[in-house]
Structure 1
Amino acid sequence: MAAMRAFVLTGPREVEVQEVAAPVAAPGSVVIDVARVGVCGTDVEFYTGEMQYLHEGHARFPMRLGHEWMGTVAAVGDGVDPAWIGRRVTGDTMLGCGACRRCLRGDQHVCEFRTEVGIRGGFPGALAEQLAMPVTALHALPDSVDDTLGALVEPGGNALRAARAAQLSRGDRALVLGPGTIGLLVGMIARSFGAEVHLMGRSPRSVEFARTLGFDGVWTEADLPELPWDAVIDASNAPNLPATALDLVEPARRVVYVGLAGSPSRIDTRTLALKDVTAVGILSASPGLAGTIELYASGAVDPRPLVAATVGLDGVGAILAGERPEGAGRGPKLHVDPRG
């Protein structure tokens, strides 16, 4: 049986790079040679043992992480068009059962019985030399979307959905809370829609980096100007900011919640009703993947400056522990090349 190297999380703060069985292309599925994987905040929560899925029984150790990825199709199973072989692809993280009412209406990303690549239900993730995926979850990448961009499609899909949910028109003013990867992507996409975009952050490093990206304003909570915000998008993990977003947004406009805190966040629904505000929650990139590929391919949004460094599988543990690779840039995103 063929073997490959894979990054395995064996327990909280316990990691190994192991030799494991290489995947085989089952009927309806393909095997992908993985070229690039993004490390996400969700991966860090699994590493620390704080991720809610561990406590709800949706995930357990040992597990293989990695849900922001791209690669090249190396083999196909029965029933799959051989033309997929050699194509550069990325794929959906959320894999629904395909039979329930949510899946049948096109909402497989909230299927009660879903698996999530590298996250939920024991589906092995992409932090490995190869990855097996159902062909129905694949999205082909054009040549104009390079490997770095390809591995940024999944977080970009979340950000695109958040920016669309804000319903911004050209000239509207948007405030994004949290200048991490998702917040910066939301800001870039909202700017491509013609909006005036401001960001608010807390960490000096993230605020300073955001200022290099040409946004209309980057602030801390202490110096945030009193301006009318047509949309406020919370992309942070701070439990107090969902309520702040609701306080800041203009009446009859929109707040969008795409960030998740490690503890419960609370808003006053009286404020929501009395301001006639629409609040939208965003889970998953699924409905935004195709649109994100189009944005990247056109050059309307180029998030490659967000990637600070690329390491091999042996460097993943240190990243999850909070270390930054030597020589890394200032961006918030770190990538992995499993071939290195």
Structure 2
Amino acid sequence: MTAARSIVVERPGTFRLAAAGAPPEPGPGEVRVAVHAAGVCASDREVYDGTRADGYVRYPVVPGHEWSGTVAAAGPGVDPALVGRKCVGEGFRACQTCERCRSGETSLCTAGYEETGFTRPGAFADHLVLPARLLHLLDDDANLTAAALLEPAAVVAAAVLRAAPRPGERVAVVGAGTLGLLAVQFLAASTPAELLAVDPRDRPRRQALDLGAGRAADPAEAKELHGRYDLVVETAGAPGTARDSCLLARRGGRVVLTGMPEPGAHGIDPVHLSVSQLTIASVFGAPPSAWAYATHAFNHGLLRPAALITHQLPLESFGEAVRLVGSGDPEVGKVLLKP
């Protein structure tokens, strides 16, 4: 049997390609997934650099929280019919019993943070073991390479569900990276009267237009549009994008923050917030309802993430993948590792 490989980040700045003698065996209630592709994002770069917030990573760790694959084995108590099914899966290992979990808000689990790829072994590996209850099944003819983007799509779906866009609204998306371009697709399906994408980079702005935005602007141009939008979805996590998103919203408008800024980001003016009577929500991760929404949209062709992928690298090229993600090159879109 071929050795089962995985990328192990031993500590910040240090990783190795490990090989076990056999694939891991799923325990009761678990499945083993043969990983087809796994996305590399800024959070994985944080794991490697050691800049992820305290409590949100546990070394040594196998990263990889964005993935797609095929169920290869079912543990005791799991329906054997799952074997052979294409799938993606939730990352949060919520307790299922606390008040927040019972309310469906698994990303707010009060039992403590546990997530695939950060505190539990992730998908930068040939195989991944996880609870079967976290699976979301794909159609038999699903494009598994594109499906590796369903984790960020679920985060965006959580934002869109929170935003509750209505037909005919003026909508803006701030940031046209992976999250932003997925948000453009979701929001275009709500038939807005206007859909703006804001990004300082040329390529993402062009791609946003191809994916459903009616207008694209750089941040300087967007200043002329302050106070115009019913709904603003922020996806960049740059130092000033939360503040700028609130300025784009009309009085009484709604803003949903999905980007994860670093410490020291610009604050939101409380006077502007109060006088404008804005409704602001934030998203961290995705509950099962958002995963179901994203998977449904993907299975029915409403979500087309394949266009966002610019690089596909073998598992042993993890170092190069991390470099690309942190390069700042505007031509780098989604980077995948493929075992």
Show the counterpart of 1:24.
25
Contact 1:28–1:79, Cα closer than 8 Å, also in 2: yes
1:186 aligned to 2:212? no
Taking a change above 3 Å as real, the CA distance of residues 110 and 74 of structure 1, as seen in their structure-2 partners, is same
Distance apart, 1:11 and its partner CA: 2.5
Taking a change above 3 Å as real, the CA distance of residues 132 and 162 of structure 1, as seen in their structure-2 partners, is same
Distance apart, 1:253 and its partner CA: 1.5
Partner Cα distance (2:296, 2:139) in 1? 9
Q: How does 1:317-336 map to 2 (within 5 A)?
A: 317-322=319-324, 330=331, 332-336=333-337
Secondary structure at the aligned position of 2:324 is classed as: coil
Q: Deviations over 1:194-236 (max 9, x none)?
A: 1221111123443344344452111111122426111111111
Partner Cα distance (2:334, 2:19) in 1? 27
Q: How does 1:64-83 map to 2 (within 5 A)?
A: 64-83=62-81
Distance apart, 1:98 and its partner CA: 2.2
Contact 1:209–1:331, Cα closer than 8 Å, also in 2: no
Q: TM-score, with normalisation over the residues of structure 2?
A: 0.91
Partner Cα distance (2:167, 2:332) in 1? 28
Contact 1:192–1:301, Cα closer than 8 Å, also in 2: no
RMSD between superposed Cα atoms in Å: 2.2
Distance apart, 1:251 and its partner CA: 1.1
Partner Cα distance (1:253, 1:41) in 2? 29
Distance apart, 1:43 and its partner CA: 0.4
1:222 aligned to 2:220? yes
Taking a change above 3 Å as real, the CA distance of residues 330 and 214 of structure 1, as seen in their structure-2 partners, is farther
Secondary structure at the aligned position of 1:59 is classed as: coil
Gaps spanning 5+ residues in structure 2: where?
none
Taking a change above 3 Å as real, the CA distance of residues 150 and 323 of structure 1, as seen in their structure-2 partners, is closer
Show the counterpart of 2:52.
51
Contact 1:177–1:234, Cα closer than 8 Å, also in 2: yes
Show the counterpart of 1:111.
109
Contact 1:306–1:331, Cα closer than 8 Å, also in 2: no
* Corresponding letter in the other structure for 2:261: A
% of aligned pairs identical? 30
Partner Cα distance (1:283, 1:44) in 2? 18
Secondary structure at the aligned position of 2:281 is classed as: strand
Partner Cα distance (1:99, 1:295) in 2? 29
Show the counterpart of 2:276.
275
Contact 2:234–2:242, Cα closer than 8 Å, also in 1: yes
Partner Cα distance (2:330, 2:261) in 1? 26
Partner Cα distance (1:212, 1:141) in 2? 25
Q: How does 1:290-301 map to 2 (within 5 A)?
A: 290-301=292-303
Secondary structure at the aligned position of 1:223 is classed as: helix
Gaps spanning 5+ residues in structure 1: where?
none
Decide which of 73, 87, 90 is 1:89's aligned counterpart.
Answer: 87
Distance apart, 1:322 and its partner CA: 2.6
